[in-house]
Amino acid sequence: MTEWLQSGDSQATGPDDVDGDSPVDTDKPVRAEKLEQKDKIQELIFAEKPIDTKAIEKYLEELFSSPDAKAALKEVRKCLEDLGDTMRRATVSPRDLKNWLISSLLNRGGL
């Protein structure tokens, strides 16, 4: 989050001029507004939200109460279990990591 906010990719905040080296120092209200927006974004993301777990569980029980829905849920759970097992057994080589890193950097435009 912090990295994204400081990178300038965030349209909500933009890059911060922490050194005060901007050519014209008349944009203090703009910087104050950006800091305020940054605080609001962090509050939205990191503040704990109340969750009514009983209502969610009741909704899901009703959602998956029909025989077809129960069968579909069972199939999804089995697929997820199989995927988890596959991922736990998989080995990652240094070559894999290098390829993933290069692909990630190319997709991000980091090279």
pTM, to two decimals = 0.40
CA distance 14 to 34: 7
Query: For 65-100, how does the pLDDT look when each residue is reduced to its tens digit (9 = 90+)?
Result: 999 999 999 999 999 999 999 989 988 888 988 988
To which residue do tokens 């090279």 refer?
Answer: 111
CB neighbours of residue 31 within 10 Å:
17
Q: How many residues does the chain have?
A: 111
Query: What's the whole-number mean pLDDT along residues 21-50?
Result: 79
More confident residue, 43 or 28: 43
Query: What's the whole-number mean pLDDT along residues 52-76?
Result: 94
CA distance 18 to 13: 13
Query: For 6-17, how does the pLDDT look when each residue is reduced to its tens digit (9 = 90+)?
Result: 666 555 544 444
CA distance 86 to 80: 10
Q: Mention every residue, 6+ apart, whose C-beta is less than 8 A from residue 72.
A: 64
To which residue do tokens 């989050």 refer?
Answer: 1
Q: In terms of DSSP H, where are the helices of the chain?
A: 2-7, 28-46, 53-63, 67-89, 94-108
